[in-house]
Amino acid sequence: MAENTTTTTTEKKKLFIKTYGCQMNVYDSERMAEAMGGAGYETTDSPDDADMILLNTCHIREKAAEKVYSELGRFKGLKAEKPDLKIGVAGCVAQAEGEEIMRRQPMVDLVVGPQAYHRLPEMEAKTQEGVKALDTDFPEEDKFEKLKRRPKAKRAPTAFLTVQEGCDKFCAFCVVPYTRGAEVSRPVDRVLTEARDLVERGVREITLLGQNVNAYHGVHGGGDMTLAGLIWELDKIDGLERIRFTTSHPNDMMDDLIEAHGTCDKLMPYLHLPVQSGSNKILKRMNRSHDRDSYIKLIERIRTARPDLLLSGDFIVGFPEETEEDFQDTMDLIKEVRYGQAYSFKYSTRPGTPAAERPLVDPAEANDRLQRLQALLGQQQKDIQDSMVGKEVNVLYEKPGRLEGQMVGKSDYLHAVYVADPAGKIGDIKRVRIVESAANSLGGVLI
């Protein structure tokens, strides 16, 4: 391996990025790779031949943060063999733990927070001089403006586009307001420019991202534009066929956005709207600032606008002081709402958050609740998926399927669908009748 460490000026250096956490980290990793492209790096799929390893990390639960340290431990051998290898930590663990990371893992050369990664090339240059680099500022300047325009390469037919970052909600369990900072929206014209660029490169579906994406209010002319306004602007882009957005907060679900679900054809009938708990007592202690009834009423209004909408949610069980009765309130809410997709977690104590000081639910009890909750959600998911059989949907092909002449892509409702279509190409949108429901996917035939 040692003989590979010498690079000539014409040879590109290799960057290996590993991404943890939410879709915003996926987007950020792409942007970091592009930024490092300007500094002479190309990406590689293997840490073994990398000149720089970057972990883009997540701090949301204890396990997520611990994973970073064990992963770093694994790179120790590599660094010993290859002293020029640079190791960097980005993302939410970088923001939350800063210098502590270098103290725990002295071989780390660079720590960069989610709002400072436009400075990555300068930081990398510093590490080349043998100096460690740390930047966890929330700078005044807009990192997206400092980053290079995204390269002109042909792209996959789907893409993420961050339009909003940060969170002002301060749920009692959550680190995001601390790691991502206050709510900020990108200006409308910049989002539209990026969207047009993506479409020119073959993108047909864009998922707008934000920690509270429906709190979006981007500068537009002399005023402000809501997320619904932005969606209607995107709707005008020829070649862009599908629009999605995530993650939304129930309190920011404004009338114009609900209405758009009924009137904008490009806006897909899928909504991720986390509720976390069905108990009013727990919702209050979580500082969610909505209650069970207001959430259910909101769902009714959204379903009136778009009756076939597929709803997705997030749930936490075992939040401090959650009783069996509180848990049953969550189970009842799930039965009332019916979710087509769901993510559920056992409460994890996060240092520095208000709930961290409170008494924990017995871990065995919390595990048991999580199992019961997941059994119910799994059954609902399966029932809703099975109910697609016989229906017609549009499928955007993302890649070839496992079988010869088969393509696989997502339906409007975000179900994975396999279709026998020897003439099918990546990026095609085909009308398909669903004929089969398997474990995690559907089978369809061309109409």
Residues at the annotated binding site?
22, 58, 92, 167, 171, 174
- Beta bridge partner(s), residue 272: 312
Residue 179: name its binding partner from ligand SAH, ligand F3S, ligand SF4, none (Cβ under 5 to 8 Å by kind).
Answer: ligand F3S
The DSSP secondary-structure symbol of 411 reads E
Residues 348-367 that bind ligand SAH (CB under 6 A): 348, 350
Which entry of ligand SAH, ligand F3S, ligand SF4, none binds 177, CB below 5 to 8 A by partner kind?
Answer: ligand SF4
Quick one: 143 or 242, whose CB is closer to ligand F3S?
143
Q: Is the dihedral of CA 251, 256, 260, 263 positive or negative?
A: positive
Binding to ligand SAH in span 294-333, by CB under 6 A: 314, 316
Residues near ligand SF4 (CB under 6 A), total: 10
Report, in Å, the least distance between residue 21 CB and ligand F3S.
3
Q: Which of 276, 330, 381, 385 binds ligand SAH (CB under 6 A)?
A: 276
Contact between 211 and ligand SF4 per CB under 6 A: yes
Give residue for tokens 């492209």: 37
Q: Diameter of the chain by CA atoms?
A: 66
Strands (DSSP E) contained in 83-183 are 86-90, 110-112, 133-135, 158-162, 164-165
Which residue, 245 or 347, has its beta carbon nearer to ligand SAH? 347
Hey, which residues between 265 and 294 contact ligand SF4 (CB under 6 A)? none
Query: What dihedral do alpha carbons 62, 68, 70, 75 form, nearest 10°?
Result: 180
Q: Which does 30 bind (CB under 5 to 8 A by kind): ligand F3S, ligand SF4, ligand SAH, none?
A: none
User: x/- contact string, 151-170, with ligand SF4 (CB under 6 A)?
Assistant: ----------------x-xx
Q: Does 91 bind ligand SF4 (CB under 6 A)?
A: no
Q: Which does residue 226 touch among ligand F3S, ligand SAH, ligand SF4, none (CB within 5 to 8 A, set by kind)?
A: none
Query: Of these partners, ligand SAH, ligand SF4, ligand F3S, none, which one is at the site of residue 207 (CB under 5 to 8 Å by kind)?
Result: none
Read off the DSSP letter of residue 116: S
170 binds, among ligand SAH, ligand F3S, ligand SF4, none (CB under 5 to 8 A by kind): ligand SF4
Among 204, 249, 306, 415, binds ligand SAH (CB under 6 A): 249
Residue of minimal Cβ distance to ligand F3S: 21
CB of 385 to ligand SF4, least distance (A): 27
What does the alpha-carbon distance between residue 200 and residue 364 come to, in Å, rounded to a whole number? 52
Among 176, 286, 309, 377, which residue sits at the site for ligand SAH (rule: CB under 6 A)? 176
Beta bridge partners of 33: none
Q: What span, in angstroms and rounded, lies between the C-alpha atoms of 100 and 433? A: 54
Q: 443 by DSSP, 3-state: which? A: strand
| Shortest Cβ 62–ligand F3S spacing (Å) | 12
Q: At 368, phi and psi to the nearest 5?
A: -65, -45
Contacts of 18 (CB under 8 A, 6+ apart): 47, 53, 54, 55, 56, 71
Beta carbon nearer to ligand F3S, 92 or 419: 92
Provide the b/e sequence for 270-287 (b: ≥16 CB within 10 Å). Answer: bbbbbbbbbbeebbebbe
Residue type, position 8, single letter:
T
**Minimum CB–partner distance for residue 254 and ligand SAH (Å):** 16
Interaction site with ligand F3S (CB under 6 A): 21-22, 24-25, 58-60, 91-92, 175-176, 179-180, 211
User: What's the gap between Cα 17 and its chain centre?
Assistant: 16
| Contact call for residue 345 and ligand SF4 (CB under 6 A) | no
Cβ 20 to ligand F3S shortest distance, Å: 7
Tell me how far, at minimum, the Cβ of 378 lies from ligand SAH, in Å: 17
What is the secondary structure of 16-65 as a DSSP string? Answer: EEEE-SSHHHHHHHHHHHHHHHTTTEEE-S-GGG-SEEEEEE--SSHHHH
Residue 263, token pair as written in the block:
């009137």
As a whole number of angstroms, the distance between CA 306 and CA 300 comes to 10
Give the residue among 433, 424, 434, 430 at the shortest CA–CA distance from 401.
424
Report the distance separating Cα 303 and Cα 258, nearest Å: 9
* Residue 176 makes contact with ligand SF4 by CB under 6 A: yes
Residue corresponding to tokens 């900020």: 184
CB of 213 to ligand SAH, least distance (A): 9
By CB neighbour count within 10 A (0-12 exposed, 13-18 middle, 19+ buried), where does 106 fall? exposed
Site for ligand SF4 in 240-269 (CB under 6 A): 249
- CB-wise, 196 or 372, nearer to ligand SAH? 372
Q: How far is the CB of 182 from ligand SF4 (least distance, A)?
A: 11
Q: Which residues bind ligand SF4 (CB under 6 A)?
A: 167, 169-171, 174, 176-177, 211-212, 249
